[in-house]
Structure 1
Amino acid sequence: MKKIIYLLWITLHLPVWAEDCPQWDKKEAAENINRLSGAVAHHDERYFNQNAPIISDSEYDALAARLKHWQACFPALEIKTHFPQDPQSKYTVNHQARMGSLKKARSDEKMKRFLARISGSEVLVQPKIDGIAVELVYENGQLIQASTRGNGETGVDILNHIRQIPLIPKMLTHLDIQTIILHGELFARLDKVAPSILKQYASARHMVAGQLNRSEPEIETIKAFDFFPWLWINSSYSSDLQSIKTLATMGFPLPLEYTHKVSSYRDVKQLLQHYSAIKKPLFLMDGIVIKAESNVFRNKLGWTDNTPAWGIALKFAPESAISEVEKIAFTIGRTGHITPILHVSPVVIKNRAITKVSLGSIQNLKKQEIALGDQVSILLKGSAIPVFGKVLFRPENRVLAKLPDTNRYTPFTCLSISPGCEEQFIARLIWLIGKQGLDLPPIDKPTIHQLVSTGKVKALEDILQLDHQSLLNAGMTQSESQQYLQSITEPKSLRQQIRAIGIPGVGKAKTKQLATCTQHLNELPRLKAEHMEKCSLHGVQAELTEFTNKAEIKALIMHLEKNIPTRSVGI
């Protein structure tokens, strides 16, 4: 049964990957698809049976979607499908009612069609809690059965665990109802769980799953667990809202607090945005649930393929995506630091197109063992900065990148243009005239590249003595050129000029100290140890002396001394 559910989930809920098919022959296709199928099965086993995932849910979804796309690209291949071992022996409890799952609205059009289909009823919205689906059964007010979703028909007996959770009622009083069957989400209250406990697990959901797998749960951990009933199976009320109000009197207050009536698609989207923006949520969520309010209307629509026709899930925009490494490039910064850049097949995360991501260092590239053709996850950190996640799949034939010589570039190299030095030299120019340096009107990198490649800028000081026509020829406008040339002649503080030189190991604080201990730039190469000691400039004398005595830096200092007035106020 679980295998059937898995196939339906893959078929119905994962979108076909919107990209070209790989250019593989039959043998390559079979090898790579079988390898990826095995990788997905490995993650299934860790997720479903071990409760120890090593990738996020969104990374898994993307990996499974990639597998489906590849299979669609090569339909003639007979691919062995891997399934996680189904622990049927653990499923000892028969559910009182089948436990299905919601379909997902993966487009605005699908969401609108669903709302049109349930237009005969009022519409409710609830948060989609990311926990463990369970069934609770009360007989004459007493909790007598508790089980996990399992395969939808039978599940794992967790009655002992539920009885030890303080937030879940064990007795329901003042009721004339003999049997109450509740389906809902067992989850961890993020306002109650200790951070020291939570950090031991991949997520709050896996903390719950891990405790359910124990024969005896840890009391300190499960006291933070709670239950959110999302369906009263045998409710006699025609209105789900009335069911929710009654559940609140029984000791299940959360649905009443977190259920919203909506009247339009706009209302739905606003609630989706509201829940996705909550900084400190009560529980882990991955979207919202939209459903018909009328139980009579629900019965009319019924169920299809183990999913209710009267409800649907709308997930938050994923914060990660999977992409293929197409190229590995390297950038060289002002200090000689080499940064690997992964160029990947275009992906969209939160409406933002991403084609490359930084790895930070050569060491990280080696540690991650990334090669061309690898399938990697990319995340949006703080919804702004693309960051590398992890390698999700390595194909059969991988091409390793040729690594640059890390000893070739240092804080003292590429002080002028020479073969192999263009990138570091341009980084020095950008620093010199940028906000952290002389703070001149900006010249973008392509323009600086043009000036360097045409020979107009060969030394650092050349960027400060360009003429109007050279700037125009490089791509600047009339007004941009005039503003830049005018700004060059304006006074700059000594602190600005020292900072602009870019002395290794001398940051903002030490720049300020140097500016208060010297009168002129040309004193820097001649500073003695006793002078450095007096100015509390410990540990930078060697770098300062070596750097400022370089011929290229001496030439830059001479140009600044001669051509840029020093502003005495606010050193």
Structure 2
Amino acid sequence: MFRLSVSAFVFSSALLVSATTLANCPAWSSDQTQQEISSLRQQIADWDRSYHRDATSAVADEIYDQAREQLQAWQACFSGSHTAEPAAAALTSARGSLELPFSQMGLRKLNATALQQWMSGRDGLWVQPKVDGVAVTLVYKQGQLKQMLSRGDGLLGYDWMAHASVIESIPKQLPSKQSRITLQGELYLQQSQHIQAQHGGSNARSAVAGLLNRNSLSPAEGDKIGLFIWEWPDGPPSMQERLQQLQDLGFTTSKTYSQPVQSFTQAKHWRQHWYNSALPFASDGVVIKHSQRNTEHARSSYPPTWAVAWKYPLQQALTAITDVTFNIGRTGRITPIAHINPVLLDDKTIRKVSLGSLPRLIKLALSRGDHVAIALSGHAIPQLKDVVWRSPQRQTFTAPEAANYHTLSCWQVSSECQQQFLARLTWLGHKKALNMPGIGTQTWQALIDGKQINQLTDWLALSVDDLKQLPGFAEKRSAHTAQTFAQAKLAPFRVWLKALGAPSSVTAKSDDNWQKLAALSQQDWQQLRLLSRNNARQAHAFFQHTAVQVIALNLRQHGIDGF
């Protein structure tokens, strides 16, 4: 609903900075500790300034919150204290010149266990969606709108009255002659059938913040903005009365999206319901609040005690890079793999994520200790979304030389070729190649470790007795492996070509054999086999490659079809 200020972390950080967290404190020198904490503190200050002063969100709210939690954890690790900074210090840049009649400080964010404890023994509780927008205060006098104030630093805000005239969802005149009505709410991006579980935040808050940051709005832009009133601090004493009177005043969504709850189970029900239902706004959790709000300290600079937030499951998780390794496939493609501190997304523990390619690794310029945002794709595949902030201690990673790995490299065992050679063997046994059931990466690795395979086709000469000499190869496994190898020898020529990694553009005819194809020039591949210039070049290079020709000779000696 609104970005959590530093002071709002006093409570939530106490929950998060646990014995487990302290046990995982980084082993930093005093200099690195100072640099890392200072760097993160400065990054958060930059985000605060961007959000509260410029009304733009430079980072997703859930990433912002996790960064705050990380800062608290580090402070607890190295100072033994997790006392938060005063809100005024963190939000100085957001402070406007107009006093808010009632403060709008950030809510404490609780997990399920902490929420159950908070709700225990409390009566008269209500739950509302935590609308993901920009907080606003509206002041009416004798029913006429007199002030529209930004949240600012929670105590002092900016005058947004100039925008009110074109935001249709904000009534300019209420059917009431009360001397004063103060409403707190959320300006949100109006959406049709927004399902949070499917669509996430959709940058809805940033869109509204961007509109409100303009000097003026057009009527069309104003029509995009909706209003949800979540509190009437100087209104009737009970929530039921406030909701009914808000509806009478024309604020109908407040009653629609407010429900009484007597238990944690009921709060959980509404949280799941709103998370999976079509709503007119984006939301990032629920707010559980007392029916009666304590207004004795109307302008307190600390989080309210009468309401807390329970966020939805994370769409993105913040974590640190611990290492980058490199997978080399059978075609020589190099895929960088980022190893991270474990994070939980959608009940999946994620420890590593593919970076796709070397160019992307270079673009990301990752270093050990950099903090990144991880999300799940539509197919539940973890992805690195962004580098959130960089460690001041730069420890970059050395990638393999890309020029050394390609479709015609690594046909035998060597220290540089372990991955690609193993990938070639694994492909041989794949169901789309020679189809060797039960023969996978572990079997091939065992044969390499046992010095039984040095060249790609050495396995053709292995007997049951040879296999039985290897650790883990008992009689039954050895017999099965030998039988599978023997069956693979019977595969037709065209299948063997595919298994060896011949270019996909090469299609063997019924009367083709190795000698016939190896005799074709690049021009022959173009003219006689109708391949493109590039495909012809690849086909000719494959059949003329020395290592491939050695393999072909070995296959001929074993009586393989077509060789």
TM range (shorter): 0.7 to 0.9
1:75 corresponds to 2:79: yes
| Residue from 533, 536, 539 that aligns with 1:544 | 539
| Residue from 139, 142, 158 that aligns with 2:141 | 139
Q: Which position in structure 2 is the counterpart of 1:191? A: 192
Change in CA separation of 1:414 and 1:224 when aligned onto 2, cut-off 3 Å? same
SS at match of 1:407: helix
Q: Which deviates further from its counterpart, 384-393 or 402-411?
A: 384-393
Query: How many angstroms apart in 2 are the aligned matches of 1:470 and 1:170?
Result: 89
1:501 corresponds to 2:500: yes
1:50 corresponds to 2:30: no
Alpha-carbon distance, 1:305 to partner:
6.9
Q: What stretches of structure 2 of length at least 5 have no aligned partner?
A: 195-200
Contact 2:141 2:177 in 1 (8 A): no
Deviations for 1:30-78, whole angstroms, at most 9, x for unmatched residues? 333223322322222223223344432233223222222222222289x
Deviations for 1:82-126, whole angstroms, at most 9, x for unmatched residues? 95572477332x3333334322112x22111122232x33x4332
Contact 1:333 1:427 in 2 (8 A): yes
Contact 1:460 1:552 in 2 (8 A): no
Query: How many angstroms apart in 1 are the aligned matches of 2:463 and 2:268?
Result: 55
Deviations for 1:185-244, whole angstroms, at most 9, x for unmatched residues? 111113399xxxxxxx99221222222222212443332100011113333373x34543
Query: How many angstroms apart in 2 are the aligned matches of 1:469 and 1:260?
Result: 74
1:454 corresponds to 2:450: yes
Change in CA separation of 1:104 and 1:487 when aligned onto 2, cut-off 3 Å? same
Alpha-carbon distance, 1:554 to partner:
4.6
User: What TM-score comes out, normalization by structure 1 length?
Assistant: 0.81
Change in CA separation of 1:20 and 1:185 when aligned onto 2, cut-off 3 Å? same
Alpha-carbon distance, 1:383 to partner:
7.1
Contact 2:7 2:303 in 1 (8 A): no
Q: Which position in structure 2 is the counterpart of 1:285? A: 283
Q: Which position in structure 2 is the counterpart of 1:216? A: 216
Alpha-carbon distance, 1:379 to partner:
2.8
Change in CA separation of 1:361 and 1:244 when aligned onto 2, cut-off 3 Å? same
Alpha-carbon distance, 1:373 to partner:
3.2
Alpha-carbon distance, 1:548 to partner:
2.9
Q: Which deviates further from its counterpart, 16-25 or 471-480?
A: 471-480
SS at match of 1:160: helix
Alpha-carbon distance, 1:369 to partner:
1.9
Alpha-carbon distance, 1:129 to partner:
1.2
1:47-446 to structure 2, matched below 5 A, reads 47-75=51-79, 86-87=92-93, 90-92=96-98, 94-106=99-111, 108-118=112-122, 120-121=123-124, 123-173=125-175, 175=176, 177=178, 179-191=180-192, 203-236=203-236, 238=238, 240-241=239-240, 243-277=242-276, 282-292=280-290, 294-295=291-292, 298=293, 306-382=302-378, 384-446=380-442
Deviations for 1:408-462, whole angstroms, at most 9, x for unmatched residues? 1111101222341111111112222224433432544333222222222223334
Query: How many angstroms apart in 2 are the aligned matches of 1:560 and 1:166?
Result: 79
Q: Quick one: higher RCO (CA 8 Å, sep 6+), 1 or 2?
A: 2
One-letter code of the match for 1:68? Q
Change in CA separation of 1:557 and 1:190 when aligned onto 2, cut-off 3 Å? farther
Query: How many angstroms apart in 1 are the aligned matches of 2:25 and 2:94?
Result: 37
One-letter code of the match for 2:542? F
One-letter code of the match for 2:308? I
Q: Which position in structure 2 is the counterpart of 1:525? A: 518
User: What TM-score comes out, normalization by structure 2 length?
Assistant: 0.82
Contact 1:429 1:463 in 2 (8 A): no
Query: How many angstroms apart in 2 are the aligned matches of 1:233 and 1:80?
Result: 27
Change in CA separation of 1:553 and 1:149 when aligned onto 2, cut-off 3 Å? same
Query: How many angstroms apart in 1 are the aligned matches of 2:269 and 2:519?
Result: 65
Contact 2:448 2:454 in 1 (8 A): yes
Deviations for 1:123-161, whole angstroms, at most 9, x for unmatched residues? 433221111111123334332221122233332111221
Deviations for 1:319-370, whole angstroms, at most 9, x for unmatched residues? 3333333322222111112222222333333433222222222222222222
1:33 corresponds to 2:37: yes
One-letter code of the match for 1:288? V
SS at match of 2:104: coil
Contact 1:104 1:315 in 2 (8 A): yes
Change in CA separation of 1:219 and 1:192 when aligned onto 2, cut-off 3 Å? farther
Alpha-carbon distance, 1:300 to partner:
11
Query: How many angstroms apart in 1 are the aligned matches of 2:282 and 2:174?
Result: 27
Contact 1:461 1:555 in 2 (8 A): no
Change in CA separation of 1:302 and 1:494 when aligned onto 2, cut-off 3 Å? farther
SS at match of 1:74: helix
Change in CA separation of 1:406 and 1:72 when aligned onto 2, cut-off 3 Å? same
Contact 1:301 1:310 in 2 (8 A): no
Contact 2:335 2:358 in 1 (8 A): yes
Query: How many angstroms apart in 2 are the aligned matches of 1:418 and 1:137?
Result: 76
Query: How many angstroms apart in 2 are the aligned matches of 1:418 and 1:232?
Result: 73
Q: Which position in structure 1 is the counterpart of 2:197? A: none
Contact 1:434 1:442 in 2 (8 A): no
Query: How many angstroms apart in 2 are the aligned matches of 1:388 and 1:87?
Result: 31
Contact 2:63 2:318 in 1 (8 A): yes
SS at match of 2:108: coil
SS at match of 2:207: helix
Alpha-carbon distance, 1:540 to partner:
0.8
Query: How many angstroms apart in 1 are the aligned matches of 2:531 and 2:288?
Result: 64
Deviations for 1:293-316, whole angstroms, at most 9, x for unmatched residues? x44xx5599999744434321112
SS at match of 1:323: strand
Contact 1:140 1:178 in 2 (8 A): yes
Query: How many angstroms apart in 2 are the aligned matches of 1:560 and 1:438?
Result: 14
Contact 2:434 2:491 in 1 (8 A): yes
SS at match of 2:498: helix
Q: Which position in structure 2 is the counterpart of 1:198? A: none
Contact 1:37 1:81 in 2 (8 A): no
Q: Which position in structure 2 is the counterpart of 1:196? A: none
Change in CA separation of 1:97 and 1:531 when aligned onto 2, cut-off 3 Å? closer
Change in CA separation of 1:281 and 1:461 when aligned onto 2, cut-off 3 Å? farther
Query: How many angstroms apart in 2 are the aligned matches of 1:80 and 1:145?
Result: 32
One-letter code of the match for 2:254? P
Contact 1:526 1:545 in 2 (8 A): no
Change in CA separation of 1:262 and 1:81 when aligned onto 2, cut-off 3 Å? closer
Query: How many angstroms apart in 2 are the aligned matches of 1:486 and 1:6?
Result: 68
